[in-house]
């Protein structure tokens, strides 16, 4: 009896989330459901509350009101570690990687496998990094390569390989295609599809509507700290979506 319920249950469910920064009411009662393996776009004008919302999900901010459930159980994260422990990984633009370290070190940063006496297991790191890069279709000769020598698209690939390696259940990508060349954008959108094929759910934040329309299953639009639309991607287009965002209201 429980089997079908488990399959259709959202992996993440937020209800009535409020967040204040002093007198700024940044989130005004946001409801959000993310289903397993679903790619959800998060759009909205500057200051709409997108980053604040994902920071609540990833444990950087605590909401003052509202509830959050993970796989059906109510959770309250008091740090990013708590969110990571359940399988929520956030990939920020650039700052997530250390350019002067190897790809392997970047993939394991802070979670290095160790051997006796706490020594880093470099061989395991090299092998497992190459495995994650290959599974993503990222062709790089060696995991010893310094991140500084990679293109923007390849760097996003390394950040995504990291979350694949740690078997994230929900991956949050904040503006992953910003400042990338056309060919790199295509690569990154392909990586996002790969995450889905690995069974992860994805939240994709972007101001570039064609990228959002290309890669998502559903799009949520925010304005002034609230959710104003939740639309199936195949039922909207660039004009419709930009109208909703610019107007800041939906429906009438
Ligand atoms: N740490 C903070 N302290 C005070 N105010 C904040 C803080 N973070 C965000 N805000 C405010 O909360 C509101 C929502 O900001 P948020 O960064 O979530 O918007 P956003 O949708 O991510 O915008 P953008 O597209 O520009 O990244 C804004 O009014 C912003 O000024
Ligand atoms: Mg933001």
Residue 8 CA to its chain's centroid (Å): 21
Is the Cβ–Cβ distance between 188 and 157 less than 8 Å?
yes
Please tell me the distance between residue 52's alpha carbon and the centre of ligand 1 in angstroms.
Answer: 6
Average pLDDT for residues 233-252, to the nearest whole number? 90
Q: What's the token pair of residue 95?
A: 């700052």
3 confidence band (pLDDT: 50, 70, 90):
low
User: Beta-strand (E) ranges in 71-139?
Assistant: 73-75, 88-91
Cα gap 121→117, rounded to integer Å: 11
Residue 58, phi then psi, degrees to nearest 5: -90, 10
Is the Cβ–Cβ distance between 108 and 159 less than 8 Å?
no
Does the structure show a pLDDT above 90 at 146? yes
Mean pLDDT for the chain?
A: 90
pLDDT of residue 60: 93
Please tell me the distance between residue 198's alpha carbon and the centre of ligand 2 in angstroms.
Answer: 27
Q: What whole-number percentage of the chain has pLDDT above 70?
A: 95
Please tell me the distance between residue 219's alpha carbon and the centre of ligand 2 in angstroms.
Answer: 16
Cα gap 43→205, rounded to integer Å: 6
Cα gap 185→183, rounded to integer Å: 5
Q: What's the token pair of residue 26?
A: 């940044």
Average pLDDT for residues 171-187, to the nearest whole number? 87
**Which strand (E) or helix (H) includes residue 41?**
strand 39-43
Ligand 1 contact via 132 beta carbon (within 6 Å): no
For residue 89, which of 204, 192, 175, 173 has the smallest C-alpha distance? 173
pLDDT of residue 112: 86
Of residues 115 and 83, the one with the higher pLDDT is 83
Ligand 1 contact via 201 beta carbon (within 6 Å): no
Ligand 1 contact via 129 beta carbon (within 6 Å): no
pLDDT of residue 110: 80
Least confidently predicted of 42-51, 76-85, 89-98, 108-117: 89-98
DSSP, collapsed to helix, strand or coil, labels residue 251 as coil
Is the Cβ–Cβ distance between 223 and 27 less than 8 Å?
no
């Amino acid at each position: 009896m429980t089997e079908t319920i488990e399959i259709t249950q959202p992996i993440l469910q937020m209800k009535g989330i409020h967040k204040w920064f002093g007198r700024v009411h940044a989130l005004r009662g946001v409801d959000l459901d993310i289903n397993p393996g679903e790619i959800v776009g998060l759009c909205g004008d500057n200051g709409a509350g997108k980053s604040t919302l994902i920071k609540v999900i990833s444990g950087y901010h605590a909401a003052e009101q509202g509830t959050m459930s993970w796989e059906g159980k109510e959770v309250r994260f008091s740090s990013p570690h708590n969110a990571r422990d359940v399988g929520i990984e956030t990939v920020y633009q650039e700052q997530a990687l250390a350019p002067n370290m190897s790809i392997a070190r970047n993939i394991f940063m802070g979670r290095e496998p160790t051997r006796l006496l706490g020594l880093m297991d470099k061989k395991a790191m090299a092998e497992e990094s190459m495995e994650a890069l290959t599974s993503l279709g990222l062709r790089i000769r060696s995991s010893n390569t310094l991140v500084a020598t990679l293109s923007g698209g390849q760097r996003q690939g390394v950040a995504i390989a990291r979350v694949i390696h740690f078997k994230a259940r929900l991956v949050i990508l904040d503006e992953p295609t910003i400042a990338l060349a056309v060919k790199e954008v295509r690569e990154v959108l392909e990586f996002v599809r790969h995450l889905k094929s690995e069974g992860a759910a994805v939240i994709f934040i972007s101001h570039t509507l064609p990228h959002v329309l290309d890669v998502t299953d559903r799009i949520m639009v925010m304005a002034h700290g609230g959710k104003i639309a939740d639309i199936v991607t195949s039922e909207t287009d660039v004009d419709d979506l930009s109208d909703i965002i610019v107007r800041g209201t939906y429906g009438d």
